[in-house]
Amino acid sequence: MHTPDSATATHCPYCALQCGMNLRPEPGGASVVVEERADFPVNRGALCGKGRTAPAVLSSRVRLTGPLVRTHATGRLEPATWEEALDAVAEGLARTGRAHGPDAVGVFGGGGLTNEKAYALGKFARVALRTSQIDYNGRFCMSSAAAAHQRAFGLDRGLPFPLEDIPRTGCVVLVGSNPAETMPPALRYLTELKANGGTLIVVDPRRTRTAEQADLHLAPRPGTDLALALGLLHLVVAEGRTDEEFIAGRTTGWAQARAAAMAHWPELVERITGVPVPRLREAVALFCAPSSAMVLTARGPEQQSKGTDTVGAWINLCLATGRAGRPLSGYGCLTGQGNGQGGREHGQKADQLPGYRKLADPAARAHVAGVWGVDPASLPAPGRSAYELLDALGTEVKALLLMGSNPVVSAPRAAHVEDRIRSVDFLAVADVVLSETAALADVVLPVAQWAEETGTTTNLEGRVLLRRRALTPPPGVRTDLEVLHGLAGRLGIEKGFPTDPEEVFEELRRASAGGPADYSGISYARIEAEQGVFWPCPDGSHAGTPRLFLDRFATDDGRARFAPVSHRDAAEVPDAEYPVLLTTGRVVSQYQSGAQTRRVDELNAAAPGPFVEIHPRLAARIGAVEGAPLAVVSRRGRAVAPARITDSIRADTVFMPFHWPGEGRANTLTNPALDPVSRMPEFKVCAVRVEPA
């Protein structure tokens, strides 16, 4: 197998930090080893265990190396040729479209796909399948923050400033974010913040390894961050700490937002959140004392049925204190997947066209249709959101093409979603391993992995990066772009789906030109020369935009908009039958549905399986024993996993990581109640009963 003999500079396949790494071919050339890449500024050589061991998935025994087609004779997935497999997928999708109309065919993408793939997948759905029914797993990730960003600032880029600004601000409030487990190399920015005299506040119902580093840890009841943020804003007003000049000069909507906050008395907020009033006062003092501060949210407050309003309330706090649109101050969301940012910009979202354009906007349709060489009227309308799409499988949506997600493990109310997936007439899955979802498919298409193909990702800072091919893929696999090319041709679209990533990127540049996420000035050559380029970058001589909003916000009038939000309960609150709160999240050594990391011995040794974190008081009350199986039961189902007794969690709450299928699958329990704006499901709070199994 051919490999270049020198190391290739590239980026990790996993999270949104997109750590830089060098890949050096192993003797024999069958795989690569990871080496430090100290010149890349985001991680300066540091990697977590997942990144360090990522090559293990390239050479894993369980990696898919040839297409599989389910045969009538045996009902099992059997090896097939690429021609047979692609014919079967094209026919399966086309047959459904012919029989039931184009919207009976669905497409489900992923935020781990490169920009080129995400762009090509969105185009494939709209141009080759003519379906409106496309969405992706990013809906489960940062969609609430994205919606709140749009509402407040007129633009959604997770972080409006580079990570390097964090150590230089005065105070950071981390809300529902656990970088010690989810982005370990980024912890350095918080350590440096403290070394520089800045303060750290962590808001998390668990005393996580991140919270242990904080000057102040607030541990609200899951699902009550909205009340908490309103309570802090109430105190800001009551203590005369608002920035009236900023409010008057750069915002709109303060009167209503202020009135809503004033209705949230500290004592009321203490009752709702469980955070004592003195802690609220301390938080306000720490946040307001320095001249600059930041609020950063992650999935904790966002994955709620009121995630958009919750993020809006935290943004209100920033705006009222003049901590936005100024150097070293602002609100940001720590995006999650490898291309969580770029994946949400280029058209795999139900309502969206490339360049973060709106599918419902006639001018956007005309521009993109022009680049695609199709009639704007032929572009479908916006479709269903991710959970709604999965929920419609087998009824309104009868065939599905899935690329880059494993919803049998990661979707809310997963037993129901699994049942819906099983009920479709036709399912095709492109993956690198036989994930729990791929195992249900009629056709499985084995695709190349990160180190075997070139493509761009946009990290959590909005920095567009280039992953470079370091290794030739095994002979039996194809790239996702080759898959889409092969399918489009079979559906009668001969042109417009090139297999060369750079050619796709060049088209993406044109499609994004003039849009909110304008990539038109970014090229592969520039990314390599400049350690990434921050969008928007409207032309080749533009330096890119590391810092947004310093002069004006991206709204029509240039002013940021306060959101007039009030607290409301989670969709499910504890009652006599289900008296305990369940929240869910991550551990450092597994990634997402575990499809990739559960194939790595070293990671499995560190995090072998699911568990239920439970406080000693609750454990004693129900008779839970450390390490013994606990049953967690919600209105959706029952999961069983060993008890992990710890006083680092609230006594009214249990926590489960969601990385495993089977009996310990956390998502058997979770509530698919959706945020009305972002359509984000409530992964972070539902009501359960806990008992020894």
Residues 335-354 that bind ligand MGD (CB under 6 A): 336-337
9 part of the interface to ligand SF4, by CB under 6 A: no
473 part of the interface to ligand SF4, by CB under 6 A: no
CA atoms within 13 A on the CB side of 209: 10
Residues 213-252 that bind ligand MGD (CB under 6 A): 222-223, 225
**H or E segment and range at residue 287:** helix 277-288
Rounded-to-integer distance, Cα 635 and Cα 445, Å = 36
141 part of the interface to Mo ion, by CB under 5 A: yes
Beta-strand (E) ranges in 242-385?
Answer: 251-252, 294-297, 330-333, 352-353, 357-358
Q: Are 333 and 297 in contact (CB under 8 A)?
A: yes
Closest CB to ligand SF4 among 17 and 120?
A: 17
- Which are the contacts of 253, defined by CB distance < 8 A and separation ≥ 6? 561, 562, 563, 564
Closest CB to Mo ion among 176 and 336?
A: 336
Closest CB to Mo ion among 110 and 661?
A: 110
Mask 335-354, x = binds Mo ion (CB under 5 A)?
-x------------------
- How far CA 234 is from CA of 264, 273, 319, in Å, comes to 7, 15, 13
Q: Which of 3, 208, 321, 456 binds ligand MGD (CB under 6 A)?
A: 208
What is the total count of residues that contact Mo ion (CB under 5 A)? 2
Alpha helices for 352-457 (secondary structure H):
362-372, 386-391, 407-410, 414-422
Q: Which of 19, 85, 440, 645 binds ligand SF4 (CB under 6 A)?
A: 19
What's the burial of 426, exposed, middle or buried (CB within 10 Å: 0-12/13-18/19+)? buried
Mask 167-206, x = binds ligand SF4 (CB under 6 A)?
----------------xxx---------------------
Q: What is the CA radius of gyration of the chain?
A: 24
18 part of the interface to ligand SF4, by CB under 6 A: yes
- Which are the contacts of 380, defined by CB distance < 8 A and separation ≥ 6? 102, 103, 126, 130, 131, 132, 359
Q: Choose one: 341-349, 518-526, 542-550, 665-673; the region binding ligand MGD (CB under 6 A).
A: 665-673
Mask 3-32, x = binds ligand MGD (CB under 6 A)?
------------x-----------------
Residues 290-319 that bind ligand MGD (CB under 6 A): 298-301, 303
Closest CB to ligand SF4 among 18 and 479?
A: 18
Rounded-to-integer distance, Cα 627 and Cα 199, Å = 37
- Of the candidates 399, 397, 473, the one whose C-alpha atom is nearest the C-alpha of residue 429 is 399
12 binds, among Mo ion, ligand SF4, ligand MGD, none (CB under 5 to 8 A by kind): ligand SF4
471 part of the interface to ligand MGD, by CB under 6 A: no
Closest CB to Mo ion among 16 and 554?
A: 16
**Number of residues in the chain:** 693
CB of 616 to ligand MGD, least distance (A): 18
What's the burial of 648, exposed, middle or buried (CB within 10 Å: 0-12/13-18/19+)? middle
CB of 23 to ligand MGD, least distance (A): 16
Rounded-to-integer distance, Cα 451 and Cα 10, Å = 8
DSSP-assigned letters across all residues of 347-371: T-STTEEGGGEETT-HHHHHHHHHH
Rounded-to-integer distance, Cα 611 and Cα 20, Å = 32
Closest CB to ligand SF4 among 208 and 273?
A: 208
478 part of the interface to ligand MGD, by CB under 6 A: no
571 part of the interface to ligand MGD, by CB under 6 A: no
Mask 440-469, x = binds ligand MGD (CB under 6 A)?
-------x----------------------
Q: Are 260 and 565 in contact (CB under 8 A)?
A: yes
Q: Choose one: 46-54, 84-92, 374-382, 505-513; the region binding ligand SF4 (CB under 6 A).
A: 46-54
Q: Are 300 and 203 in contact (CB under 8 A)?
A: yes
Closest CB to Mo ion among 184 and 336?
A: 336
321 binds, among Mo ion, ligand MGD, ligand SF4, none (CB under 5 to 8 A by kind): none
Residues making contact with ligand MGD (CB under 6 A): 15, 110-113, 137, 140-141, 175-178, 181-183, 203-206, 208, 222-223, 225, 298-301, 303, 336-337, 403-406, 409-410, 430-433, 435, 447, 480, 583-586, 588, 590-593, 595-596, 655, 658, 666-667, 670, 683-685
Residues making contact with Mo ion (CB under 5 A): 141, 336
Residues making contact with ligand SF4 (CB under 6 A): 12, 14-15, 17-19, 43, 47-48, 50-51, 183-185
